[in-house]
Amino acid sequence: MTKALPKKLKKEPLLDAIFEVRFSGSSSASVVLPGALFSKIQGIKSVEQLPIAELPKAMRDADPNLKYSPLSRLDWGKFFINVGDFSLSINCKHPYPGWEEFKPAIIKVIEAFSGSGVSATVDRYSLKYIDMLSASDDRQKVSMINFDVTMAGHKLEEEPFHIRIEIPRDGLKNIVQVISAAQATLHTGIKREGIIIDVDTVATFNAITLEKLLGDFSDKLDVIHHTNKAMFFDCIMPSTLKSLEPVYE
């Protein structure tokens, strides 16, 4: 029997939600896409170049940490659209508008990408949710998470920690990171502290076309969203979920 997942949380812990497509076969995406998206998607207000764009392209391509970094950002209502040499992503502004608004926005952006004239094949797409849970002390942080860690005979109870693990599920790869002592600043300038749970759910391919990606794309998005959501709730204890005031209707 499948465990019921909350429809929403009254005490929303979300810091960021990001959908990303990584692609290859194009040498002009970062130049062409910002203008194409600006003209095809209604409501975009502004475009800004990001600092990484000032680095030489050869340097960006050679560094795996820079290759997929965004070079420009489009401000679009409740979302930001980020464009790189080999990546396109959309992330939500705070507060999170909900999957009912995020999903249609993703579809509009990828359809605009497909119709932009950029020749590219998709290597992967991913959905990442970054949540931050408030905790009064280090011992409480450990008790909020559904894990049990012992290393060198020492059981983790209250020490600071940063754990990364890859968990396969439903044909997808879930990269889960948990950071106990974290700080974050939202785009609104609000600062928060607590324990971060970062779940990045990834689907990989052998260079499929954008047209093929868009086939049954709505269903594909629902699958990756459900997998990511279930993984997050599996990472926290029942008492933690209760404290977030889940709504199931």
The per-residue pLDDT for 138 is 62
Q: Could you report the per-residue pLDDT of 4-39, keeping only the tens digit for each?
A: 899 999 999 999 999 999 999 876 788 899 999 988
The per-residue pLDDT for 58 is 86
Strand partners, 91: 18, 80
CA distances, 187 to each of 91, 93, 184, 236 (Å):
11, 7, 10, 26
Q: At what angle do helices 217-235 and 99-114 cross, to 10 degrees?
A: 140
The per-residue pLDDT for 119 is 85
The per-residue pLDDT for 207 is 85
Task: Evaluate if residue 121 carries a pLDDT over 90.
Answer: yes
* Averaged confidence pLDDT in the chain: 91
Strand partners, 20: 89, 126
| Residue bearing the bigger pLDDT, 91 or 181 | 91
Task: Evaluate if residue 1 carries a pLDDT over 60.
Answer: no
**Residue 4 three-state SS:** coil
- Residue type at 53? A
The per-residue pLDDT for 222 is 97
The per-residue pLDDT for 122 is 95
- Among residues 105, 55, 79, the alpha carbon closest in space to that of 69 is found at 55
CA dist 180 and 163 (Å) reads 9
Q: Could you report the per-residue pLDDT of 147-193, keeping only the tens digit for each?
A: 888 989 998 887 888 999 999 998 999 999 999 888 888 777 778 88
What are the tokens at 189? 């300038």
Task: Evaluate if residue 2 carries a pLDDT over 70.
Answer: no
Q: Are 176 and 164 in contact (CB under 8 A)?
A: yes
Q: Could you report the per-residue pLDDT of 66-81, keeping only the tens digit for each?
A: 999 999 999 999 999 9
The per-residue pLDDT for 140 is 67
CA dist 43 and 157 (Å) reads 49
- H helices, E strands: number in the chain: 7, 13
Write down the pTM of the prediction: 0.93
Q: Are 6 and 248 in contact (CB under 8 A)?
A: yes
Q: Are 231 and 131 in contact (CB under 8 A)?
A: no
- φ/ψ (deg, to 5) at 21: -115, 130
